[in-house]
Amino acid sequence: MALSLLVPILGPPASGKTTLTLALGKDPDRHVFRLREHVPPGVVMATVSSGPRNLGWIDESVVEQAVRAYLESVVGDPLIQTVLMDNYPGTADQVRALLDVVEAVAPRCVVEPVELVLDPKVRRKRAQSRRVCHRCEHDPAADPRMPARPSRVGGWICANCKSLLHTRRGDAPSLFAARSRRHQDTVDDVRAAFDSAGIATNVLNAIVPASAVASLVEPMLIARSNTA
């Protein structure tokens, strides 16, 4: 067994990408790639201190190096069959660079992008209600993103560590709007870049509960990783 399936999970803010990768990533054959975990902490810090306008953008050459190093390490791991990429690639250039690396390190690996779509109003509502935990998630830039579980439904106390939960920094209304605009500005190019490589993007409406989204994607993952 070796890497046979790569699934970029795309979609606007608060469409459920991280929740989906967490649900699907429970399978031990699968690994979830999150860019921030593969760039040096100093780089993540630098993008934050350069101001909110930057929206956490990381230098392109650093990104490509990180993705290449990651995939090289994954193909050397016989236990990993499927990689889920949480919110990556984000630009047409990143799509092309990713496909080049896959071609070089795992030429038989199938790439199967999944794009979540969700009405902006619903996304804003979801963003307002989601919480993160600064104690449970040690983010290099003190900007945790993983969904935290409150001790009571709708509450503000972490069920895991009992400390106070917070909203995500990027969910502040002005940042959320800017992140949504950035997605809107790039998503067609990302899809087109996959298209021109002969790869169709699976578009999924994420209005259904997260568990339903996961059960829609799961059969595709199983079918694709078996045929590869």
Which region among 28-36, 81-89, 120-128, 134-142 touches Zn ion (by CB under 5 A)?
134-142
Kindly report each contact of residues 139-145 with a partner whose C-beta sits within 8 Å and lies 24 or more positions away, as own/partner.
139/36, 139/44, 140/36, 140/41, 140/44, 140/45, 141/41, 141/44, 141/45, 141/47, 141/48, 143/48, 143/56, 143/168, 143/169, 143/170, 144/168, 145/18, 145/36, 145/170
Q: Which is nearer to Zn ion, 54 or 129 (CB)?
A: 129
Does residue 136 touch Zn ion according to CB under 5 A? yes
Of 164-223, binders to Zn ion (CB under 5 A) are none
DSSP SS3 for 162: coil
Which region among 19-27, 60-68, 153-161, 174-182 touches Zn ion (by CB under 5 A)?
153-161
Does residue 151 touch Zn ion according to CB under 5 A? no
CB of 161 to Zn ion, least distance (A): 3
Q: Which is nearer to Zn ion, 156 or 189 (CB)?
A: 156
9: left (phi over 0), alpha (psi -120 to 50) or beta: beta
Does residue 133 touch Zn ion according to CB under 5 A? yes
Strand 5-10 to 110-111 pairing: parallel
Amino acid present at 201: T
Of 41-70, binders to Zn ion (CB under 5 A) are none
Q: Which is nearer to Zn ion, 162 or 181 (CB)?
A: 162
Q: Which is nearer to Zn ion, 102 or 132 (CB)?
A: 132
Q: Which is nearer to Zn ion, 53 or 152 (CB)?
A: 152
Beta bridge partners of 124: none
CB of 151 to Zn ion, least distance (A): 10
Which region among 28-36, 78-86, 131-139, 201-209 touches Zn ion (by CB under 5 A)?
131-139
Does residue 161 touch Zn ion according to CB under 5 A? yes
CA pseudo-torsion sign 82, 85, 91, 94: negative
Closest of 220, 151, 204, 198 to residue 17, by C-alpha: 204
Does residue 158 touch Zn ion according to CB under 5 A? yes
Q: Which is nearer to Zn ion, 160 or 215 (CB)?
A: 160
CA pseudo-torsion sign 19, 24, 27, 30: negative
Residue ranges binding Zn ion (CB under 5 A)? 133, 135-136, 158, 160-161
